[in-house]
Amino acid sequence: MTELSAEREALIERLEPFAAAARGLEGWGLEYEPEPLTEGPPWDYEAMARTLAADAQRVLDLGTGGGEVLERVLSASAASVVATEEWHVNAPVAAARLRPRAQVVRTSSLALPFAAGSFDLILSRHEEIEPREIARLLADGGHILTQQVLSETLHELRAYFPNMTRFPDHFAEYQRGLAACGLQIEVAQEFRRGVRFRELGHLVYNLVAAPWSFPEFGVRSHVNALAEIDLLYRNGQAPILTDGFYLLQVSSKGG
């Protein structure tokens, strides 16, 4: 074994426990999140959702994860609630957490098995939406609230992982799609900030936890790229990355 390969093997051994922890992730309580370098968004998604839910009768939460956020949102609501979650790992976690407060349905958020006009509030935190589908489900006078991750989030990592997924500009696409369905865009805000991971293992954890953004990522298969980033950390130059979110609040006629 050459000295170089020994260094790579040592790096793999150091980082693999973080990858294993991410593979065992349940719900969306990430153990290692990036550290923000500035304050958060100018809005509070949970507070807004809680206010809307308090006045709603029938609520749909798309992509509820482990139900962590929805559980808090429902603290002041007496609404009838349905939550969806497609991932087979998270669906039973959410069902256990939300029972009996909400019914959890395992289904895609893009083709929903509910009747037209079934809900007067539709929530989606970091779950993709199909504008025509949620417009179909929204009752007259109802509201949609969604917070999403901006498509260029962590784009600096593409220099190291060139097969990183290129997402379309959903912020613009969703607004066009919802408006085309006759819905009114009440709030449309974007937010960006600098972030950094405390150590390389924390970054690896997040790469493994987001396979839709970093397909086929593995510590061993990408060890050369990880070694480049590790050198930055060892030189006291932890990469500064960009993350960002956007918020859309939408209403149907009469809302």
Alpha helices in 165-234 (DSSP H): 170-180, 200-209, 223-234
Give the C-alpha separation, 113 to 133, whole Å: 10
Ordered per-residue pLDDT tens for the chain, 255 residues: 445 588 999 999 999 999 999 998 877 777 899 999 999 999 999 999 999 999 999 999 999 999 999 999 999 899 999 999 998 989 999 999 999 999 999 999 999 999 999 999 999 999 999 999 999 999 999 999 999 999 999 999 999 999 999 999 999 999 999 999 999 999 999 999 999 999 999 999 999 999 999 999 999 999 999 999 999 999 999 999 999 999 999 999 765
Would 211 be classed as within a structural domain?
yes
Domain count for the chain: 2
User: Is 151 in the same domain as 231?
Assistant: no
Note down the domain range covering 47.
Answer: 41-155+166-196+240-251
Residue 105 has a CB neighbour count (10 Å cut-off) of 18
Q: For residue 189, what pLDDT is reported?
A: 98
Q: What is the pLDDT of residue 27?
A: 74
Asked if residue 187 is part of any domain, the answer here is yes
Does residue 58 fall inside a structural domain? yes
Indicate which CATH number applies to the domain containing 106: 3.40.50.150
Query: Which residues contact residue 134 at a Cβ distance below 8 angstroms, ignoring those fewer than 6 apart?
Result: 62, 112, 122, 124, 144
> 151 with 45, same domain?
yes
Same domain, 71 and 141: yes
Spatial contact of 255 and 139, defined as CB atoms under 8 Å apart: no
Same domain, 11 and 75: no
Is 110 within a domain? yes
Q: What is the pLDDT of residue 26?
A: 79
Q: In terms of domains, do 211 and 138 share one?
A: no
The predicted structure's pLDDT at residue 219: 97
